[in-house]
Amino acid sequence: MTAPPTTPPSTQAKPDDLRAFSRSLPMALLKAREAVMARFRPLLREHDLTEQQWRVLRALTTLDGLRAGELARASCISMPSLSRILKTLEKRGLTARTAEDGDLRAVQIAITGEGRRLVARIGPHSEQRYAEITQAFGARRLEDLYAQLEALTACLTADGEPPLADED
């Protein structure tokens, strides 16, 4: 009873639901992400940047003058977190806010010259780590993995979940 319906191909004799636990998709994604980030964290730490701060700067380098909401989506950071992160980055003089003309609610975020210089300094090293990972895992396999991850994300975010359930 309560047999995990996943029924993966190669299975041993294990206490029934243990395997279902260690074979958790969120865990697998978490571990993979951790393994990847471990390659980048030391580099960012050298420049006193967190992973998320780096994502914000990186996004602004490409897409400057974004509104906060757009920046949040582009960097995969929630608005509350972004608010705090921008406060920190502004204190360091790496970004700046400016109110939008037409809409006084909106704020446009820009990266400063100093911010750009920092990204320019770190960028090449980051690319190098990326190249190492690509080489270690294989460029083709990596492309394949990208495709599968995007497919999974699309498959789960597109629809499938009725907008809202019911009971609190």
Partner DNA sequence: TATTAATATTTAACATGTTATGTATTGCGG
Partner DNA sequence: CCGCAATACATAACATGTTAAATATTAATA
Residues that bind DNA (CB under 7 A): 34, 37, 41, 45, 50, 52-53, 67-70, 77-88, 97, 100, 102-107
- Per-residue interface string for the shown chain with a copy of itself, residues 36-75, x marking contact by CB under 8 A: xxxxx-x--------x---x--xx-xxxxxxx--x--xx-
d(CA 106, CA 18): 49
User: Which segments of 11-162 does DSSP mark as H helices, in order?
Assistant: 18-22, 25-46, 51-62, 68-75, 79-91, 113-137, 139-157
Residues 131-160 that bind a copy of itself (CB under 8 A): 131-134, 136-137, 139, 141-146, 148-153, 155-157, 160
**Which of helix, strand or coil describes residue 106?**
coil
Contacted by 35, from DNA, a copy of itself, none: CB < 5 to 8 Å by type: a copy of itself
- CB-side neighbour CA atoms (13 Å) of 58: 17
- Using the rule CB under 8 A, is 93 a contact of a copy of itself? no
